[in-house]
Structure 1
Amino acid sequence: MNAVRCAIYTRKSSEEGLEQDFNSLDAQREACAAYIRSQASEGWSELAARYDDGGISGGTLDRPGLQRLLADIDRGLIDIVVVYKVDRLTRSLLDFSKLVERFDAAGTSFVSVTQSFNTTTSMGRLTLNMLLSFAQFEREVTAERIRDKIAASKARGMWMGGTPPLGYRPDGRTLAIEEEHAPLVRLIHRRYRELGTVRALSDWLIGEGILTPLRSSQKGKSFGGAAFSRGQLYSILRNPVYAGNIVHHGKVFPGQHPALLGREEWEAVQAQLTDHVQGTHRVRNARKALLADKLVDADGNRLIAVHTSKGTRRYHYYVSERHHHGDADTGMRIPAQALEQLVTGHIAELCSDPLSLAERICPSSPLADWRMLHERADQLAVKVRGGTRDAIAPLLAKVTVADHSVSISLDAAAVAQALGLARAPVDPVTVTSEAPVHIRRSGQMLKLVDHGGAAVTSPPAESLVRLIVQARRYWDILRRERITIGALAEREGVTPSYATRVTRVAFLAPALVEAIVEGRQPADLTTLKLLSVCGEADWAQQQRMAGSSHDPIICRGGSSMTGGITWR
Structure 2
Amino acid sequence: MTQRAAVLYARISVSTEESVSVQRQIASARKYASARGWRVVGEFIDDGVSATHNKPEHRPGWRSLLGSPVPFDAVVVWKVDRLARRVIDFLHADETLQARGAAIVCVEQSIDMTTGEGRAFAQMLAVFGEMEASAISSRITAARAHLISQGRIPGGLQPYGWRSVPNPDGPGYVRGQDPERIEWVRGMAERVLRGDTVYSIQTWLNTVGAPAPRGRQPGRSWGYSSVDILMRNPVLAGMFPVNSRNARGREGPQVRRGEDGHPIVAADGIVTVEQYRTILHALTHKAHHSAGSKKSRRTTSPLLALLVTCRTCERLMYRCRNVGKPSLFCRHCGQMVTMLPLADYVVRRLVNERGSQRMYRRTLDVPNDPGAARKLADIDHALRATALALTEDRTEADTRSLSEEVARLKRARLAARKQAGAEAVERMVYVGTVQQVWNLCVDDDQRHEVLAGQIATLMVSKAVADGQFHSSRVELTWSANRKPVVPEAISVGPIHRRMRELHPWISLREASRLAGSSESVIKGGIKRGQITQRKVHRAHPSLERASVIAFLRDRRPIDC
Q: Normalising by structure 1, what TM-score? A: 0.50
Tell me how far 1:135 sits from its aligned partner. Answer: 0.8
CA–CA distance in structure 2, aligned partners of residues 232 and 470 of structure 1: 58
SS at match of 2:91: helix
Q: Which residue of structure 2 lines up, in the alignment, with residue 132 of structure 1?
A: 126
Aligned mate of 2:559, from 530, 535, 539 = 535
CA–CA distance in structure 2, aligned partners of residues 327 and 303 of structure 1: 25
With over 3 angstroms needed to count, the CA separation of the structure-2 counterparts of 1:224 and 1:124, relative to structure 1, is: farther
Give the unaligned 5+ runs of structure 2: 167-172, 243-253, 258-262, 289-305, 330-342, 352-433, 456-477, 492-499, 513-518, 531-540, 547-555
SS at match of 1:225: coil
With over 3 angstroms needed to count, the CA separation of the structure-2 counterparts of 1:25 and 1:189, relative to structure 1, is: closer
Rg larger in 1 or in 2? 2
Asked if the contact 2:234–2:276 (Cα under 8 Å) also holds between the matched residues in 1, the reply is no
Asked if the contact 1:157–1:245 (Cα under 8 Å) also holds between the matched residues in 2, the reply is no
CA–CA distance in structure 1, aligned partners of residues 118 and 7 of structure 2: 22
Aligned mate of 1:69, from 65, 71, 79 = 65
With over 3 angstroms needed to count, the CA separation of the structure-2 counterparts of 1:492 and 1:175, relative to structure 1, is: farther
CA–CA distance in structure 2, aligned partners of residues 182 and 135 of structure 1: 45
Asked if the contact 2:163–2:175 (Cα under 8 Å) also holds between the matched residues in 1, the reply is yes
Asked if the contact 1:156–1:253 (Cα under 8 Å) also holds between the matched residues in 2, the reply is no
Q: Which residue of structure 1 lines up, in the alignment, with residue 195 of structure 2?
A: 197
Q: Which residue of structure 2 lines up, in the alignment, with residue 187 of structure 1?
A: 187
Aligned mate of 1:225, from 216, 220, 224 = 220
Asked if the contact 2:105–2:113 (Cα under 8 Å) also holds between the matched residues in 1, the reply is no
SS at match of 1:132: helix
Tell me how far 1:136 sits from its aligned partner. Answer: 1.1
CA–CA distance in structure 1, aligned partners of residues 314 and 557 of structure 2: 36
Asked if the contact 2:5–2:40 (Cα under 8 Å) also holds between the matched residues in 1, the reply is yes
With over 3 angstroms needed to count, the CA separation of the structure-2 counterparts of 1:190 and 1:469, relative to structure 1, is: farther
With over 3 angstroms needed to count, the CA separation of the structure-2 counterparts of 1:491 and 1:225, relative to structure 1, is: farther
Q: Which residue of structure 2 lines up, in the alignment, with residue 515 of structure 1?
A: none
Listed one character per residue, the Cα deviations across residues 16-51 of structure 1 (whole Å, up to 9, x for unaligned) are: 1399xxx643443333233222222xxx2233x432
Mapping of residues 375-414 of structure 1, within 5 Å: 402-405=346-349
Aligned mate of 1:294, from 311, 316, 340 = 311
Give the unaligned 5+ runs of structure 1: 283-288, 296-301, 306-318, 334-398, 408-435, 479-484, 497-501, 508-531, 537-568
Listed one character per residue, the Cα deviations across residues 343-365 of structure 1 (whole Å, up to 9, x for unaligned) are: xxxxxxxxxxxxxxxxxxxxxxx
Amino acid at match of 1:490: G
Asked if the contact 1:400–1:406 (Cα under 8 Å) also holds between the matched residues in 2, the reply is no
Asked if the contact 1:198–1:233 (Cα under 8 Å) also holds between the matched residues in 2, the reply is no
CA–CA distance in structure 2, aligned partners of residues 56 and 162 of structure 1: 17
Amino acid at match of 2:213: R
Asked if the contact 1:182–1:260 (Cα under 8 Å) also holds between the matched residues in 2, the reply is no
With over 3 angstroms needed to count, the CA separation of the structure-2 counterparts of 1:406 and 1:161, relative to structure 1, is: farther
CA–CA distance in structure 1, aligned partners of residues 84 and 321 of structure 2: 36
Q: Which residue of structure 2 lines up, in the alignment, with residue 86 of structure 1?
A: 80
SS at match of 1:2: coil
Q: Which residue of structure 2 lines up, in the alignment, with residue 473 of structure 1?
A: 507
Count the aligned residue pairs. Answer: 357
With over 3 angstroms needed to count, the CA separation of the structure-2 counterparts of 1:238 and 1:535, relative to structure 1, is: closer
Amino acid at match of 1:5: A
SS at match of 1:216: coil
SS at match of 1:50: strand
Q: Which residue of structure 2 lines up, in the alignment, with residue 35 of structure 1?
A: 32
Q: Which residue of structure 1 lines up, in the alignment, with residue 325 of structure 2?
A: 329
Asked if the contact 1:5–1:78 (Cα under 8 Å) also holds between the matched residues in 2, the reply is yes
With over 3 angstroms needed to count, the CA separation of the structure-2 counterparts of 1:403 and 1:148, relative to structure 1, is: farther
Tell me how far 1:489 sits from its aligned partner. Answer: 5.3
Tell me how far 1:5 sits from its aligned partner. Answer: 1.9
Tell me how far 1:82 sits from its aligned partner. Answer: 1.3
3-12 or 140-149, larger mean C-alpha shift:
3-12
Asked if the contact 1:471–1:503 (Cα under 8 Å) also holds between the matched residues in 2, the reply is yes
Asked if the contact 1:505–1:534 (Cα under 8 Å) also holds between the matched residues in 2, the reply is no
Asked if the contact 2:85–2:130 (Cα under 8 Å) also holds between the matched residues in 1, the reply is yes
163-172 or 138-147, larger mean C-alpha shift:
163-172
CA–CA distance in structure 1, aligned partners of residues 503 and 206 of structure 2: 50
With over 3 angstroms needed to count, the CA separation of the structure-2 counterparts of 1:88 and 1:31, relative to structure 1, is: same
Residue 57 in 1 paired to residue 79 in 2?
Answer: no
Tell me how far 1:122 sits from its aligned partner. Answer: 3.9
Q: Which residue of structure 1 lines up, in the alignment, with residue 160 of structure 2?
A: 166
Q: Which residue of structure 1 lines up, in the alignment, with residue 264 of structure 2?
A: 253
Residue 96 in 1 paired to residue 84 in 2?
Answer: no
CA–CA distance in structure 2, aligned partners of residues 470 and 188 of structure 1: 63
Listed one character per residue, the Cα deviations across residues 120-179 of structure 1 (whole Å, up to 9, x for unaligned) are: 544433222111111111111111111121122222222223332111223353233323
CA–CA distance in structure 2, aligned partners of residues 464 and 52 of structure 1: 50
SS at match of 2:310: coil
CA–CA distance in structure 1, aligned partners of residues 276 and 232 of structure 2: 7
Amino acid at match of 1:294: R
With over 3 angstroms needed to count, the CA separation of the structure-2 counterparts of 1:127 and 1:276, relative to structure 1, is: closer
With over 3 angstroms needed to count, the CA separation of the structure-2 counterparts of 1:487 and 1:46, relative to structure 1, is: closer
CA–CA distance in structure 1, aligned partners of residues 153 and 221 of structure 2: 27
Asked if the contact 2:74–2:104 (Cα under 8 Å) also holds between the matched residues in 1, the reply is yes
Q: Which residue of structure 2 lines up, in the alignment, with residue 377 of structure 1?
A: none
CA–CA distance in structure 2, aligned partners of residues 13 and 476 of structure 1: 65
SS at match of 1:330: strand
Asked if the contact 1:167–1:185 (Cα under 8 Å) also holds between the matched residues in 2, the reply is yes
Listed one character per residue, the Cα deviations across residues 450-487 of structure 1 (whole Å, up to 9, x for unaligned) are: 9xx9998666635579x999961359999xxxxxx997
Asked if the contact 1:439–1:447 (Cα under 8 Å) also holds between the matched residues in 2, the reply is no
SS at match of 2:145: helix
Identity %: 19
Amino acid at match of 1:35: Y
